[in-house]
Chain A
Amino acid sequence: MSEPIDRGTAIAVIGAGSSGLPAAKNLREYGFEVDVLEREDDLGGNWNFGKPNSRVYRSTHMISSKPFTQYPDFPMPDGFPDYPHHAQVLEYFRRYARHFGLHEVIEFGTSVERVEPVPLAGGSGADESPRWDVTVTKDGRTETRRYAGVVVANGHNWFPKTPSYPGQEDFAGEIIHSADYKDPGVLRGRRVLVVGAGNTGCDIAVEGAQHAEHTYHSTRRGYWYNQKYVFGKPADQVSDVFFGLNLPTRFIQWAFEKTVRMTVGDFARHGLKEPDHRMLETHPIVNQTLLYYVGHGEITPVDDIEHFERDRVVLTDGRAVEVDLVVFCTGYLIRFPFLDEDVIGMQDGRPELYRHVFHPVHDNLFVIGLIQPDSGQFKLVHWQTVAVARYLALKDRDPVRAREFREQVRRHVHERSLGGIEMVDSTRHLVEVEHVDYLRALARLINEDLSPRDVLTTAGAAR
């Protein structure tokens, strides 16, 4: 194999979705050269409807309102609604990329096949970080480039997690995963079983109510269905007042549960399962219309699947439903096809990272966007990337302090940011974060732990 192309001090960013874009912008803002390597011929990742890795469907709108979602230094246009449509979100990324000149650094049609650390030469200090060989294919050619660091932003909502039940192979109807669900055309005139009560599952159940002959919605447990609007305002704008006031979690849970009770009332009366957990202990579901269709008899809530037969699905409570389409809305698995599992450090289905970003062994390998917040994602990822940029800048400016930070990463790698809430069903919440708690943690990193000592002491003296 030929010698790798030396990219000097440049940093590789893998992916030009909502995470890769602010990574490039903020690294450049802090003075670093970046190459953004993007497999597709366009940016936007998940939000570019119809692209191979996109998982939005024709009707997808944001579930968090604008102020919680947008990048803090580039607000979404005032002309956008509270909850923009996926086409507007893509338009927003285009404006962002154009404004910050990111097309200068994005290489489209460049697929990352392999990322590996270059072994350190013998005798080097324990502090030395490896460089990274990144092998890409571009226009049918393969080449390897050597970078000073790698920011992984390949998304975590693309590799379908598909359950398997006894008899599934003999089922005469069709089974798809929501990853392949693009619009309600496939539902028309069919009897549909939607499996899973994530936001996608609830959305598709509602589309079933509007288009299918009948829709069954199978959920493992009862959930708290949040409204998109409370008191005429986007619900997250109201609920954050509670978070901001630093009220006890128990009280917040009580208040939110009361609000849901006011509209939903008795879950059992609708045939819904009673939630078996407190509010906030599962990833929030925001859906204002599911209950409406349940009440109109268009959606029948049903139990978990027990097994499949030729033309029906038997549920755990012994009942059976006759359906000809099953849509698994059972989520996604975390995958890094280009990194060896022991390099990235996979553990129980996710890499072990400090604050979901910093690697405990390799201080110049970062993962961003690998969070599932109870709020908008882009804002949080913006601050993740600022923390990355500041760490790299700190290494040049104050190596002693940078070493202290690495120690902190190693020591506290297990800390989570869940606002003191125990999540139920942990496999579904591997990367869940409570946004205020998480932002507080990032703020501490950015403005304290990743500031040079001389800056901190002068700021302290001035205070």
Chain B
Amino acid sequence: MTRPTTRLEQPEPVLTPIEWSFPAPPVERELLEVLPEQPTGKPPILFVHGLSHGAWCWREHWMPAAAADGWRTYAVSLRGHGASAGREHLDRTLLRHYVHDVLQAITELPEPPVLVGHSMGGLVVQHVLERYAARAGVLVAPASAFHGLGSLGLLLRHRPRQVLRALAGRTLELDRELLFSDDLDEATAQRYVDRLGPEGALVQHQLVLPRRPRPSKAPVLVIGAGDDRMVPVIDVVRTARHYGTRAHVFRGMAHDMMLEPDWKAPLELVLRWLEDTVGRDR
């Protein structure tokens, strides 16, 4: 027997008529890569960013560090984000178009990857894992598997005006306090905030709506940030429970865990888990 990745518990998404009749419009996508100096037998890692971010946020620390550890790393910019095309259509973009973007990026890789998704990208990855047998999935401060009311509540408390504007169809304005802890120096934080782009209005609404991804076709690791002002820790814990696992929460960290001064700690945990789960396999 070879190693099964899909089990009989897994319901299969056979009927998806909306996708057949209204397929995601084709688009040119940015796919960054950072490869190790020596090829190793480890599977590739594909990183998926969150709200208003782009592939660049992984290029900063996590990709080079993982590559130095022997992993082939890739990061996709969802449509309308980073250097991918489609910005002019963001107002018509839906979450399932992002799912399509990730599947398209996957088909460009030489073998099934590990998927790492942050925030909204974490929800996109959950939907990809329903139908595609990735090697593993890692959800980093992911949008909840159930609904976005927790995030909405947090934001309403801290940024009521921004939330109202976002609900009216504008891009949710993200600032340094929402994303980073005080430990990150002002200049760097500003540099990151300046790189944030627009987000789709429909997607922002969809993020609040109820959902319940089917079980994953791959093992899942869930990590969260103790001082997250975007995704409440309790939601991260519940998402982990949905996948039958326990969340690892990093105290003192804020939402953008891969850009925080302490970015090494969560990455080390992720790579150690991946090493155990998929690293030695071939």
A contact residues vs B (CB 8 Å cutoff) = 9, 28-33, 66-68, 72-75, 77-79, 95, 98-101, 236-238, 240-241, 243-244, 383, 386, 390, 393-394, 397, 436, 439-440, 442-443, 446-447, 450-452, 455, 459
Q: Contact check: which of B14, B19, B111 meets A101 at CB < 8 Å?
A: B111
Whether B184 is near chain A, meaning CB under 8 Å from some CB there, is: no
Question: How far does the Cβ of A242 sit from chain B's closest Cβ, in whole Å?
Answer: 10
Chain A neighbourhood of B29, CB < 8 A: 78
Query: Given A75-B107, A383-B12, A442-B14, are A30 and B21 neighbors across the interface (CB < 8 Å)?
Result: no
Contact segment of B3-11, B59-67, B225-233: B3-11
B contact residues vs A (CB 8 Å cutoff) = 1-9, 11-23, 26-29, 100, 103-104, 106-112, 131-133, 217
Query: Given A67-B19, A73-B131, are A31 and B4 neighbors across the interface (CB < 8 Å)?
Result: yes
The DSSP consensus for interface residues of chain B is loop
- Report whether A78 and B20 are in contact in the complex, using a CB–CB cutoff of 8 Å: no
In the complex, A237 Cα to B23 Cα: how many Å?
A: 9
- Report whether A79 and B6 are in contact in the complex, using a CB–CB cutoff of 8 Å: no
Query: Given A32-B2, A99-B107, are A244 and B21 neighbors across the interface (CB < 8 Å)?
Result: yes
The DSSP consensus for interface residues of chain A is helix
Question: How far does the Cβ of B12 sit from chain A's closest Cβ, in whole Å?
Answer: 5
- Report whether B133 and A29 are in contact in the complex, using a CB–CB cutoff of 8 Å: yes
Closest 9 CB pairs of A and B: A31-B4, A78-B26, A443-B14, A244-B17, A67-B23, A73-B132, A67-B20, A240-B21, A447-B11
Task: Count A-B pairs with CB separation below 8 Å.
Answer: 104
Question: How far does the Cβ of A463 sit from chain B's closest Cβ, in whole Å?
Answer: 11
Most chain B beta-carbon neighbours within 10 Å: one of A28, A66, A73, A243: A73
Q: Contact check: which of A72, A75, A78, A237 meets B21 at CB < 8 Å?
A: A237
Query: Given A446-B14, A451-B8, are A31 and B20 neighbors across the interface (CB < 8 Å)?
Result: no
Q: Contact check: which of A9, A79, A397, A446 meets B1 at CB < 8 Å?
A: A9
Interface pairs (24), CB distance under 8 Å: A9-B1, A29-B6, A29-B217, A31-B4, A33-B1, A67-B21, A67-B23, A73-B131, A78-B28, A78-B104, A79-B26, A236-B20, A240-B17, A243-B17, A383-B14, A386-B12, A390-B8, A439-B15, A443-B12, A446-B14, A447-B14, A451-B8, A451-B9, A459-B11
Query: Given A66-B23, A237-B23, A443-B15, are A75 and B132 neighbors across the interface (CB < 8 Å)?
Result: no
In the complex, A73 Cα to B19 Cα: how many Å?
A: 12
Question: How far does the Cβ of A392 sit from chain B's closest Cβ, in whole Å?
Answer: 11
Chain B neighbourhood of A98, CB < 8 A: 110-111
In the complex, A440 Cα to B133 Cα: how many Å?
A: 22
Chain A neighbourhood of B133, CB < 8 A: 29, 73
- Report whether A99 and B110 are in contact in the complex, using a CB–CB cutoff of 8 Å: yes
In the complex, A78 Cα to B28 Cα: how many Å?
A: 8
Question: How far does the Cβ of A103 sit from chain B's closest Cβ, in whole Å?
Answer: 11
In the complex, A67 Cα to B12 Cα: how many Å?
A: 17
Question: How far does the Cβ of A8 sit from chain B's closest Cβ, in whole Å?
Answer: 10
In the complex, A66 Cα to B100 Cα: how many Å?
A: 13
In the complex, A72 Cα to B16 Cα: how many Å?
A: 9
In the complex, A442 Cα to B26 Cα: how many Å?
A: 29
CB nearest neighbor in A for B16 = A72
Question: How far does the Cβ of A70 sit from chain B's closest Cβ, in whole Å?
Answer: 10
Chain B neighbourhood of A439, CB < 8 A: 14-15
Chain A neighbourhood of B27, CB < 8 A: 78
Chain B neighbourhood of A100, CB < 8 A: 111-112
- Report whether B8 and A75 are in contact in the complex, using a CB–CB cutoff of 8 Å: no
Most chain A beta-carbon neighbours within 10 Å: one of B1, B12, B20, B103: B20
In the complex, A66 Cα to B107 Cα: how many Å?
A: 15
- Report whether A447 and B100 are in contact in the complex, using a CB–CB cutoff of 8 Å: no
Query: Given A67-B23, A99-B107, A244-B17, are A31 and B1 neighbors across the interface (CB < 8 Å)?
Result: yes
Question: How far does the Cβ of B80 sit from chain A's closest Cβ, in whole Å?
Answer: 14
